[in-house]
Chain A
């Protein structure tokens, strides 16, 4: 919760990290000692209490702290310096208010925003801190506010309550001291997780007296932010008990399915892992922002140049003219030095000309970005209905960069694919099922409308399961042994946990979606997996309950690539059921299976060709004697301490021999909706998409084909999978030669440092389409050993249309992104959904998180998040493009208007003796940027669009200018500043020529300085308003209101400022009294204004017209087309549906990881409640097996690993590249919920 609202409330900068006060700053806590029920003891260490404080300010500290923070920003500090300069009377060329008014406005706006943020934080803190909890104090349970809970207290939690602090679970209402928690707030996973109390403490139960006496002492690690790790020991009654994450309930979790539990507070308040995890560290800047900063520096340089020129001018003037003029204008004695006067003039001009970089620029840019972010958040077309998830711009500073992306790095699972697996086809005993044929034996394409098999005969079937081939059901009904055995295997050999909420309503908790899919398939075909205990598995085989005794569980791991169970059926036969990777299973088949193996192998190839994930199934019947003997050895082996794993593996190997092949399954890894179309569209926009996945090569390629990234008509697909750097280098070089032709390749390899520009020339000229697929271990060689190789890799990769990196570790993902970032000046975007993508998301310029099946780790690390991959298209091509365009137009105009405004002073300098006299009224200078011209340009930056969203998506090439940085670059900047200079020149000199002898129509002169000022100021406001009118392509009511409103505002303020009333109140601040009345009623003044406006605008109009007429950009053309088409029929043309061309590829995947088996056999996660229907529990217990059998005494790390492991990525044999082996650091893995949909 905290994390969530924190992010909501810090949209502006996002850079602030809430951290609690360290108890003793400077001396870090090295180890934590907590004694239960002993506040006195614990107080010695002054641990943080459970009060959280995410707010930054209190009422007293707000003003100084907030101001201090604000002045740390360069811009604000700069304006403060200017303000100070203005207070020096010799320098001050402007009144103090010209700077202080904008500055104060900016400061106030920011402060108000900070204050509201902080107010909400206070309120939310307050709300959280005053939650009630039951604390054991002096032998009694008392209600306490959360904030009064302290380390060492024992707390009682009830079902559905939030966990108060980081607790050590002592006891719970459930057997074995288990308790269930939901960690959605913490890591985004919304499945239940199990925590278990130590046996010694779980015996305490709910006995208050015993709990009150409990005086165990915990020694543990200091507070940290690792959610999946905890190490410590509990010392109680002289015994030491190791503590692990499994024993901890972390703050932010919710207790579920557990009536009550007791916990001992270990970390409280700001030291809890939740709070330690809040906040983000990385602060990304867009390239435009960087460019802007450079330009601002240039402008400062320019400013100083102008200052110097004018200062020199002043020195000369003082010497030549000024001295002679002393009769009328004396300097003080100190100031009679011309050089000194020049020096002062320099500063005076710095003050006057500072408006070329107005403070409102920074504020406006922030406002625009915030607005653009809100447009993303509000977009219904980025809203994912199924999950009720709207897109979210989590960072508000990157929007315009969305319009410049050149490289997309995408995760596969959960990003391109749905991570939903569907039992699609199978091959049983040499027959394939799953195809649908029509009456003429033609294959029918399966669509939504294809009739589904009716599973109504099976009351326990899953209504969401869809299968189209009825012959398989027939086969089951007829009672074909092989088919039945096939499904029996699927129903028995897995690690799924059933949950029967009410009679017949089964829900499977599967560790990986594949398994869920298979078990569900078996369920629908009449082999319903209904219940399991540590020793038994109960199936309903076509309506009949059958209980199998689970004798052994040979679990899956990455090396074995298979899992087996040994069960005894009611008849007393012992059978081993095995499912696994085809190559692995085929090796272990009985020789008699050869024919079947060939047929099945063919089928497997077929399945793989369709992009399906396949598994081979086999069984073996075991002799009682053989098994008994093997079991004994297994039990012995499992007690061995040293090389237990090895021994167990050998034993498994031994029994998994002479298998009889049953068939194979084919599970579809469903692509997310619209993925191929999106990828096609994005590549048309010239965005290169690289897929970085932990999957195996074949799987990755398969997905590549189904996503339309790889096509059969590609010229060549290079597969780099060398195991040594030499091999990799050779493969890469040859690939490069193949693409460029040998001569070019030699050229570029000979001249080592061939410039990247020539490379890009190559890139452009390559017409043929290539694809590069590189394996993780090869990538490691390419990335780490030689710099040169890295360059070759990048060259080749950039020459290829498609790049797929498979079997990469999370770190490598980041390295690849880093590689591109380093060598290409391109904007990179990383998109992913899992914890394994976090590093990549953080590394890329823009990180996009898909909130998928894998929790929200990626989302929390991302800059943008939404529900589906296909939204990327809209985010980039529509929002990104618009944002970029708007920001560029905004900046161009902004620089233009300020140059036009400010440089008038420069020209005037030559005519006023370089005395830093301003042309305008000081109030005009104060208000120009914040009132007269800010809103129209903001409206343009907010709403402007040229091509509407449909056309943006239809013509992806419209995205190109962003990538090439065409709309705002240094050249553009020069153009618009030049435009500004020209305008300022006209603005000054046209009135100069026309006014110097101008006379009112009543004879009084109007060539005075004030009338001159008002003429120029009015012309300026009109000219920039007309200019914004020309720049605005999309005139909404808001634009109209702002443009006309600003003009009206100008005149209203003008007349107000020049009114008698204000003057009579502050005669010295409003010396322009009556000017507007006197000057603006003159026809000649208006004639001058009109002329100036026309002279300023017409050339621009002509140039712009010529540009669009002679060399229209694509967007101009599309724009015209759009206008034309609107006049006809606003018909929406959707993108042509891209169909992938089918191709045969061998694919294999077993998205699975180590871990569940032991938990099942140990039975610790079984819940023996009266309501749970566990039929046949009374069946005679197995004589052969002593409960919680073979693997029980293996440590619990496997269990933790299940939750903490690295997702689907099979990293077992990938070189560990810096990541700590074993439990990965990057947090949570997959959500083991299977969803079977069609």
Chain B
């Protein structure tokens, strides 16, 4: 707090060694320090909104956004996407019967076949999605109705799931694994794609069922109890299957122990709840054929073979199957490109308008009218 060294720089115009009741030579202990911070003299950058800075910003943004937008739009347009609704609401739909004979406990699966035509060949890897509409996966009670500890393989949670799972927590006194509404409503349609060669032969297109979930989900977030190598049947002993499921969790993919139980990728994908009532989830990947020059999905006639298990009719839901290729920026999304072009043009236009306004009416350094 000593500031006497600054006396020479006294700014308040007082003679030091002043005559006060304290007498001359009083030590000035209360004098505030002369630091930039305390005196509010911190060096600072003082930007100011002038025509010189604002208008170029608009133009620059406009000029950057428009090309980006065009690029995005073109990229998006190059992405091939095919979508087919197989809900079966109309009577003409092959799935109409299945849709109306719904029961969770049907032992005999209802199968419907929907033929469709691809006008263009799909190059490179093709991704197969299922889409649901009007399905409130983002409802709060739905979203929280899960137990991440259980899904992470925690033994105690396995046998005693979180209360958040109610009313899908216990079944007949046994705890449900996986518990909760999300797991309970696992999408269980089976989709198969059959290519009809022009010569009449058909081939079922191989669908990759692995690699559809995020790596972190599959390897960190979801784990089977007692590790993934264990015998799942014993690991899940003492638990019940979710009410709507036809088979217990350890039989989701008996063929592949790496895709069974909680780490079943279909299950993981489902468990990643969607943000909006209309959503799509990755179902399968159709890998590019390595050897021949044929496109992954040549143009032609296809049949979608649906094992119709998943009822959506009660809540006016829709089910779709989507085939899509992707680009560097992801899937088909024309809106992004359009939005960029629009925003870029608006910015540019705004820049022009502002420039005109500024030139016509703007005040450039009109200091003359500052009073006093």
* Residues of A participating in the B interface, judged by any CB pair closer than 8 Å: 89, 93, 190, 321, 324-332, 348, 374-375, 377-381, 383-390, 464, 673, 684, 882, 911-913, 915-918, 943, 945, 949, 955-957, 990, 992-1013, 1033-1039, 1060, 1063-1064, 1067-1068, 1071, 1073-1075, 1077-1078, 1082-1084, 1087-1088, 1091, 1094-1095, 1098, 1101-1102, 1104-1106, 1108-1110, 1112, 1114, 1117-1121, 1123-1124, 1233, 1235, 1237
Contacts and interface: CB of A to CB of B under 8 A. Distances in A.
Which 4 pairs show the lowest CB-CB distances between chains A and B?
A1074-B216, A999-B331, A1012-B275, A386-B18
The listed residue with most B CB atoms (<10 A of its CB), out of A331, A684, A915, is: A915
A1104 B49 contact: yes
A1227 B143 CA distance: 70
23 contacts: A89-B163, A378-B32, A380-B11, A381-B11, A383-B32, A385-B12, A387-B22, A684-B372, A957-B371, A996-B276, A1001-B329, A1003-B324, A1005-B282, A1009-B274, A1010-B272, A1033-B46, A1035-B44, A1039-B44, A1068-B149, A1084-B330, A1084-B333, A1091-B343, A1121-B370
B166 A332 contact: yes
A327 B49 contact: no
A1123 B48 contact: yes
A1119 B38 contact: no
A1071 B148 contact: yes
B189 to A, nearest CB: 14
Q: How large is the interface on B (under 10, 10 to 19, 20 to 34, 35 or more residues)?
A: 35 or more
A385 B167 contact: no
Contact of B330 (A882, A1082, A1101, A1108): A1082
Given A378-B38, A911-B138, A1010-B272, 12 more contacts: A324-B316, A328-B135, A388-B26, A917-B138, A990-B339, A992-B276, A1033-B47, A1078-B215, A1088-B336, A1094-B61, A1106-B357, A1235-B21
Given A1067-B148, A1073-B216, A1123-B48, A1083 B328 contact: yes
B293 interface: no
A1026 to B, nearest CB: 12
Contacts of B138: 911-913, 915, 917, 1009
Given A1067-B149, A1087-B336, A1091-B339, A190 B347 contact: no
A1094 B220 contact: no
Interface string B72-88: 10000000000000000
A1010 B217 CA distance: 13
Nearest to B168: A330
Interface in B327-372: 327-333, 335-336, 339-340, 343, 346-347, 350, 354, 357-358, 361-363, 365-367, 369-372
Interface of B: 6, 10-16, 18-22, 26-34, 38-40, 42-49, 51, 54, 57-58, 61, 65, 68, 72, 125, 127, 129, 134-143, 145, 147-149, 151-152, 154, 162-163, 166-168, 181, 184-185, 212-217, 220-221, 269, 272-282, 285, 311, 314-316, 324, 326-333, 335-336, 339-340, 343, 346-347, 350, 354, 357-358, 361-363, 365-367, 369-372
Given A380-B39, A1074-B221, A994 B335 contact: yes
Nearest to A1121: B367
Nearest to A1035: B45
Contacts of A915: 136, 138-142
A378 B127 contact: no
B315 A324 contact: yes
A1087 B340 contact: yes
Contacts of B361: 1109-1110
A246 B112 CA distance: 111
Contacts of A377: 32
Nearest to A95: B144
B22 A380 contact: no
Given A377-B32, A1098-B58, A996 B278 contact: yes
Contacts of B168: 330
A1068 B166 contact: no
Q: Is the interface of A mostly helix, strand, loop or mixed?
A: helix
B153 to A, nearest CB: 9
B43 A383 contact: no
Given A1074-B221, A1110-B361, A1000 B330 contact: yes
A1039 B45 CA distance: 10
A110 B216 CA distance: 41
B119 to A, nearest CB: 21
Contacts of A385: 10, 12, 14-16, 18, 28, 31
Contacts of A1119: 48
Contact of B49 (A390, A1078, A1105, A1117): A1105
A583 B261 CA distance: 112
A331 B168 CA distance: 10
A1001 B45 CA distance: 41
B23 to A, nearest CB: 11
A1003 B326 contact: yes
A1009 B273 contact: yes
B220 A386 contact: no
Contact of A1124 (B166, B279, B365): B365
A1120 B364 CA distance: 10
Contacts of B19: 386, 464, 1235, 1237
